[in-house]
Structure 1
Amino acid sequence: MAATPLSSSSPTTPTSSTRYTRRGSPYLPTSSELLLLAIFPVLLLFGTLFRVLSPQTRDAVMTTAPGANHYDQAPGLAPSYFARKDNLLNVFFVKRGWFWITVTIALFVGTHPFFTASDKQQPTAKNSSLLGRRGSVILRWGLVTGWWILVTQWFFGPALIDRSFRLTGGSCQVLQAAVDDKVAADEDPSQLLLVATASACKHVGGQWRGGHDISGHVFLLVLGTTFLAQEIGWVLWRQAASASTVRVADTRSLVMYDGAVKSAEVEAERATISPDAASSEAATLASRIALRFAAVVVGLCLWMLLMTAIYFHTWFEKLTGLLVSLVGFYSVYLLPRWVPAVRRVVGIPGL
């Protein structure tokens, strides 16, 4: 990720304010992380503008279903193959997105020397994570996966996306008719409402109507991309920094137990990989395959995010999908930087 060269003429004991400015705030992403995060609103904005300005999409037939925000799915009427929900990338990649994200991180952790090096190359330190490198990655994967489950799958009943849809006035056409029948018969419709989810509605042949539909595709694709970028990007940067002849500084800032704000370099010594070990291990076929696989998955995530921005959802639904995903990103990757007790358990990528 971001690196700041340190010249030999730099003072060895800069003032705390200078060091803080160079590293940035522990409460906010680093400059390189901001560049990554900027990709998402740029893609969403470009897709929204393309949808409005392109004759291909502007003149395409929209579905006649009330409350739907996508184009007609008939092959001859859809403005693009990717405007159809049955396109192969949507069916086999996005719909199973978290499976591919999990496979990607498992391959990386299982093959990269940062995780496969011997215990002698991974000395422990006072501030290191209690779970070790692999344990920390698994925990962070579990936390991000938990957020994905709560938002899209289950939240003590319907998922947050389903709950927000109903709270904003949305309903399932078929289920709502059944609820109205029970109300008319003075019966309790609560059991029907408990299963009022998008999947249940689709299963009985109904469709969501009205309400605010947070874009699950945007949420998944942004969350998965930021997760992989954090877990893989900082490890690769740490490996490059360890092998470099030019001293570079980690731009992340951490709040210590005594309240002092220090560079992540304070905890970085234990994360250094021997250049010889790193170069020999990283050259293995399995490691190269894992990195290329990760690059393909991230590339597909960004491509499908663009397709979603062009062909599906309103701009506000896409915006809320982005914001909800960033809540998970901040909680898992930025919160530990300024809460030492959380960092002690969750750890920091690349350290």
Structure 2
Amino acid sequence: MSASTATLPRRQSKLPLGLQPHHLTFALYFTSIVVIGTTYSVLYGTHLQNVRISSGATGDFPSTLPGAAVAPAPVQNTVEGSLNLGPIPPTILLPPHHALNYWANRKNIVNQLFVKKAWLWTTLAWGMQLFFLRLAPPRVDKKKDEDAVATEQATITSPVSISVLRYLVATSAWLLFANWFFGPPLSERILTATGAVCVPTGTGGGKVEEMYCRTRTPLASDHPALHSSGLTAKNVRAMWKGGHDISGHTFIMVLSSLLLLEDVAPYLAALLGRSLFGKSTAQASRTRWTGTAYAAVGVTLGLVGLWSWMLLNTAIYFHTPQEKVSGLVVGLAAWLVLPKGN
């Protein structure tokens, strides 16, 4: 392979924002997951119980179909001010519209261990492809290829630099949406701007200061809101009630998956020779396929598969249809601003 081959310009796409056809395939894949899961939830009412829990509602939500199974109301823990969702059912083989389906319970092990730490797992998978694919010694067949590799790795537009920049932009989008946006995160600002108020959990009391919801700090036992509700228990916490709660799980599953697929796509193209993943880059075609290189691809695809499964369960069991669609839109919007190409 000559130096000129390594620096051939990428074929210009007619799509905006530097998108290639395989980008549309990826976006449509995750969009279809959300649409299918949301449609199912509307038909069978599978999301209603968790929506009721999240909203702090005390009445029963109606099922959209007579056959939809809605779980009994959760038990209020008056000591800790939290909701007891009950034990995890012993089987995961219950039909999706069954009220006790394993994946409808927020305590399921995958949600607790993986989804709640999604960006950590995404970072680990991204780091594997960075060190074991992009930074790994390439296969060099000729002496003149060595100069091409050195030049490619030294530029600011090298595949390594683009991958790092892409990860930093994605991480910034996640932080702004879920953790900090010049104060409260963007998701919380949208929640309060659309009418959410902070209230004591399960007390039926009045509005309390927003800091109790933001910091999860227990209310003092002599707080006026507790006295007005006749509750004197300690460690009562507050929760948001009302407003538009953009599905954070939908957002992070979509953004994380598209970030990982963007980085691994040229290596899949080089490995499988399939145009579905776009075209192999010069660097990817020189990959030395060691055990760690295969592991990096396998871990990345495995995590994308897990995120896809949990995205489907989020669409089936959690949030209103509007909140899931908005989570998808925000996730796709964040992905669109990521640098494309490898």
Match of 2:302 in 1: 296
- In the alignment, structure 1 residue 35 sits paired with structure 2 residue 25: yes
Gaps in structure 2 of 5+ consecutive residues: 1-10, 62-69, 74-84, 90-97, 139-145, 220-234
1:263-321 CA-to-partner distances (Å, cap 9, x unmatched) read xx9xx66x4644xxx3xx21x22112222111210010000000000000011101111
- Once the two structures are TM-superposed, the CA of residue 107 in structure 1 deviates from its matched residue by 0.8
- The answer to whether the Cα contact below 8 Å between 1:151 and 1:161 also exists between their aligned partners in 2 is yes
The percentage of aligned residue pairs carrying the same residue is 27
Are residue 122 (structure 1) and residue 149 (structure 2) matched? yes
2:172 is matched with which residue? 146
Q: Does the residue aligned with 2:295 lie in a helix, a strand or coil?
A: helix
Gap change, CA 1:311 and 1:110, over 3 Å in 2? same
Q: Partner residue of 1:169?
A: 195
Deviation (angstroms), 1:171: 1.6
Give yes or no for contact 2:267–2:284 (8 Å, CA) kept in 1. no
| Separation in structure 2 between the aligned mates of residue 212 and residue 40 of structure 1, nearest angstrom | 22
Q: Distance in 2 between matches of 1:67 and 1:138?
A: 47
1:310 aligns with 2:316: yes
RMSD: 3.9
**Would you say the 8 A contact 1:60–1:79 is kept in 2?**
no
The residue that corresponds to 2:40 in the other structure is: 50
**Pick aligned residue for 2:214 from 197, 212, 218:** 197
Query: Structure 1, unaligned stretches of length 5 or more?
Result: 1-18, 182-191, 253-264, 334-347
1:110 aligned residue: 131
Letter in 2 for 1:80: N
Once the two structures are superposed, the pairs formed by residues 1-351 of structure 1 within 5 Å of their partners are 23-27=13-17, 29-54=19-44, 57=46, 63=52, 65-66=56-57, 73-75=85-87, 78-112=99-133, 114-117=134-137, 120=147, 122-124=149-151, 129-130=155-156, 132-174=158-200, 192-193=209-210, 196-197=213-214, 205-237=237-269, 271=283, 273-274=285-286, 278=287, 281-282=288-289, 284-333=290-339, 348-350=340-342
Letter in structure 1 aligned against 2:172? G
Q: CA deviation at 1:178?
A: 10
Residues 111, 199 of structure 1: alpha-carbon distance in 2 compared, 3 angstrom cutoff: farther
Distance (whole Å) between structure 1 residues aligned to residue 58 and residue 327 of structure 2: 18
| Residue identity matched to 2:240 | W
Contact 2:267 2:285 in 1 (8 A): no
Q: Write out per-residue CA displacement over residues 121-169 of structure 1, whole angstroms, 9 at most, x where no aligned residue.
A: 52536xx951633233222111100100000011111100001000000
Which residue in 1 is equivalent to 2:5?
none
- 1:178 and 1:201 mapped to 2: Cα distance? 14
Bigger fraction of residues in helix: 1
The one-character-per-residue Cα deviations of 1:32-71 (angstroms, maximum 9, x if unpaired) are 211211122211121122223348x399797463299996
Report Cα offsets for 1:87-146 as digits up to 9, x if no partner: 11110100000000000010111111x432366452536xx9516332332221111001
Q: Measured at CA, do residues 108 and 319 of structure 1 come closer, stay the same or move farther in structure 2, by a change above 3 Å?
A: same
Given that residues 94 and 217 in structure 1 are in contact (C-alpha distance below 8 angstroms), is that contact kept between their aligned partners in structure 2? yes
Amino acid at match of 1:236: L
Question: CA, structure 1 residues 316+301, in 2 after alignment: closer, same or farther (shift >3 Å)?
Answer: same
Deviation at 1:27, TM superposition (A): 3.2
User: Is 2:199–2:239's contact at 8 Å kept on the other side of the alignment?
Assistant: yes
**Under a length normalisation based on structure 2, what TM-score does the superposition of the two structures give?**
0.68
Contact 1:158 1:194 in 2 (8 A): no
Is the contact between residue 266 and residue 278 of structure 2 (CA under 8 Å) also seen in structure 1? Answer: no
The answer on whether the counterparts of 1:198 and 1:208 sit within 8 Å (CA) in structure 2 is no
Does the 8 Å contact 2:251/2:331 carry over to 1?
yes
The count of corresponding residues between Structure 1 and Structure 2 is 277
**Residue pair 2:213, 2:238 contacting (<8 A) in 1 also:** no
Q: Which has the higher contact order (CA 8 A, sep 6+)?
A: 1
**Letter of the structure 1 residue corresponding to residue 200 of structure 2:** V
Offset, 1:179: 9.2
Distance 1:58 1:307, change over 3 A: closer
Are 1:172 and 1:201, in contact at CA under 8 Å, matched by a contact in 2? no
CA contact (8 A) 1:61 1:78 kept: no
